[in-house]
């Protein structure tokens, strides 16, 4: 069975994170991704650490199994080559600041005249419309303006950033959904279209119930550390040696939990009988639990509580994530064998599908311009002489 997007060709003008994360997903789904990079420099992320033997691992994790060509889009010949290439590609994706492609004379309005079936996807900070469309953006701005920082962290800490670039990552994922839907639409109707995904919009879309909580309570929700706003106990606790999490989602789990930890008397305690009561009496309940849990190690509590069918688990640091048996059984830690950096472990594909073999290794990361000759000769019939000439002129 071929992978779902086998045969689909993506011309990828993106740099850094949101765009490359999107095309990483589509590449795992079978698409051929050709990165179009700036001659001599390339994707900014090639310069981001950490490094092993001068190979940037940030770039490696995001760009494995893609191809790299260089093309100077500021030169007339570069523009022409890009337009010619597009005839053979199904999707163009870019994450420039809105207006940049238009300035280059390569905006969607121009390109769709050359190729009406083109799927043109743009991932940007604030989107291609609206008063702040053209402002510069970084993930931190989207996390801050989109509200997530105001509800992450602790009541007494400053606003807290989510520990990864959720602005970029979710925008990349929504763009991947848009492109997948547009490919279906293309197959169905023969029509191309433009997709416009913003980091800021994406942050608003994932706020879950925070918008409605504000409307009911009349004030903005606040950060709550690691506990759930309305379900209790549903948070992290300190054991003798380490923290662990205990999400008691309903009253029946509460009763099982009481038995599991030998506190049968709590079952009939009217202060704790229902979730509403436990939530109201948090100030009594949490100290009791803290006092109990400090007496044994986290692993002991987890085993003892899980035995009663109550959800309970460890808080993994990254080292433990990389050694977790379930994560390995799911092939979520895969390997790239790199010329410079050697064998590097990175995250696998989380979308397990019958039509995708679940590989434990991934294709190599491309050197800058590694596939320029191959791609230009395959799609445009350029010979060695022509390619040498273009290189000399700084076009590729």
- Please check whether residue 134 is in contact with residue 98, taking contact to mean a CB–CB distance below 8 angstroms: yes
Residues 354-393 that bind a copy of itself (CB under 8 A): 354-355
Closer CB to a copy of itself, 268 or 316, in the complex? 316
Taking CB under 8 A as the binding criterion, the range among 48-56, 88-96, 282-290, 384-392 that sits at the site for a copy of itself is 48-56
Taking CB under 8 A as the binding criterion, the range among 78-86, 98-106, 166-174, 386-394 that sits at the site for a copy of itself is 166-174
Taking CB under 8 A as the binding criterion, the range among 34-42, 98-106, 264-272, 309-317 that sits at the site for a copy of itself is 309-317
The dihedral region occupied by 54, where left means phi > 0, alpha psi between -120 and 50, and beta the remainder, is left
Which strand (E) or helix (H) includes residue 245? strand 243-247
Closer CB to a copy of itself, 9 or 391, in the complex? 9
- Please check whether residue 258 is in contact with residue 289, taking contact to mean a CB–CB distance below 8 angstroms: no
- Residue 113 within binding range of a copy of itself, rule CB under 8 A: no
As annotated, the active-site residues are 228
What is the nearest approach in angstroms of a copy of itself to the Cβ of residue 386? Answer: 35
- Residue 221 within binding range of a copy of itself, rule CB under 8 A: yes
What is the nearest approach in angstroms of a copy of itself to the Cβ of residue 364? Answer: 15
d(CA 221, CA 229): 9
Among 9, 83, 247, 296, the residue binding a copy of itself under the rule CB under 8 A is 247
Among 10, 73, 85, 197, the residue binding a copy of itself under the rule CB under 8 A is 197
Closer CB to a copy of itself, 36 or 312, in the complex? 312
- Please check whether residue 75 is in contact with residue 395, taking contact to mean a CB–CB distance below 8 angstroms: yes
- Residue 213 within binding range of a copy of itself, rule CB under 8 A: yes
Record the tokens describing residue 218, joined without a space: 């009349």
Taking CB under 8 A as the binding criterion, the range among 184-192, 261-269, 289-297, 361-369 that sits at the site for a copy of itself is 184-192
- Whether the ω angle into residue 233 lies within 30 degrees of 0, i.e. cis, is yes
Among 102, 292, 311, 394, the residue binding a copy of itself under the rule CB under 8 A is 311
Taking CB under 8 A as the binding criterion, the range among 136-144, 266-274, 361-369, 375-383 that sits at the site for a copy of itself is 136-144
Helix (H, G, I), strand (E, B) or coil at 120: strand
Which strand (E) or helix (H) includes residue 343? strand 342-347
- Residue 346 within binding range of a copy of itself, rule CB under 8 A: yes
For residue 335, what are the β-bridge partners? 345, 361
Among 38, 104, 210, 273, the residue binding a copy of itself under the rule CB under 8 A is 210
Closer CB to a copy of itself, 287 or 350, in the complex? 350
- Residue 193 within binding range of a copy of itself, rule CB under 8 A: yes
Query: Binders of a copy of itself: how many residues, by CB under 8 A?
Result: 148
Among 14, 23, 27, 61, the residue binding a copy of itself under the rule CB under 8 A is 61
End-to-end CA distance of the chain: 37
d(CA 116, CA 109): 10
d(CA 376, CA 340): 26
What is the nearest approach in angstroms of a copy of itself to the Cβ of residue 102? Answer: 16
Contacting residues for 157 by C-beta, under 8 A, at least 6 apart: 223
d(CA 229, CA 86): 50
How far lies 314's CA from each of 235, 239, 254, 286, 303, in Å?
Answer: 12, 11, 19, 19, 10
CA dihedral 253, 210, 125, 149 (to 10 degrees): -80
Among 185, 263, 296, 391, the residue binding a copy of itself under the rule CB under 8 A is 185
């Amino acid at each position: 069975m071929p992978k779902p997007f086998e045969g689909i060709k993506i011309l990828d003008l993106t740099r850094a994170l949101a765009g490359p994360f999107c095309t990483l997903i589509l590449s795992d789904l079978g698409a051929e991704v050709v990165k179009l990079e700036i001659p001599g420099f390339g994707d900014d992320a090639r310069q981001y650490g950490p490094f092993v033997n001068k190979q940037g691992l940030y770039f490696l994790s995001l760009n494995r199994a893609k191809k790299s060509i260089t093309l100077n889009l500021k030169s007339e010949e570069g523009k022409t080559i890009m337009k010619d290439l597009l005839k053979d590609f199904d999707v163009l994706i870019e994450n420039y600041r809105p207006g940049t492609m238009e300035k280059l004379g390569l905006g969607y309005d121009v390109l769709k005249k050359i190729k009406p079936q083109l799927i043109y996807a743009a991932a940007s900070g604030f989107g291609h419309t609206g008063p702040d469309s053209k402002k510069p953006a970084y993930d931190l701005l989207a996390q801050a303006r989109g509200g997530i920082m105001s509800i992450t962290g602790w009541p007494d800490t400053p606003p807290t950033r989510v520990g990864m670039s959720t602005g970029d990552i979710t925008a990349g994922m929504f763009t991947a959904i848009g492109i997948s839907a547009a490919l279906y639409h293309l197959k169905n109707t023969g029509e191309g279209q433009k997709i416009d995904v913003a980091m800021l919009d994406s942050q608003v879309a994932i706020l879950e119930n925070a918008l409605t909580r504000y409307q009911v309570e009349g004030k903005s929700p606040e950060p709550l550390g690691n506990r759930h706003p309305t379900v209790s106990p549903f948070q992290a606790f300190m054991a003798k040696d380490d923290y662990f999490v205990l999400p008691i989602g309903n009253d029946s789990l509460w009763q099982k939990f009481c038995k599991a930890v030998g506190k049968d008397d709590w079952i009939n305690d009217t202060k704790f009988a229902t979730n509403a009561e436990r939530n109201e009496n948090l100030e009594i309940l949490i100290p009791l639990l803290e006092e109990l849990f400090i007496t044994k190690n986290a692993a002991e509590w987890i085993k003892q509580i899980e035995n009663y069918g109550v959800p309970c688990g460890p808080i993994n640091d990254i080292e433990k994530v990389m050694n977790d048996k379930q994560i390995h059984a799911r092939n979520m830690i895969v390997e790239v064998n790199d010329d410079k950096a050697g064998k590097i472990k990175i995250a696998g594909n989380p979308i397990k599908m019958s039509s995708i073999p679940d590989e434990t290794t991934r294709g190599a990361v491309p050197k800058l311009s590694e596939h320029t000759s191959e791609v230009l000769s395959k799609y445009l019939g350029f010979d060695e002489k022509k390619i040498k000439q273009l290189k000399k002129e700084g076009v590729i």
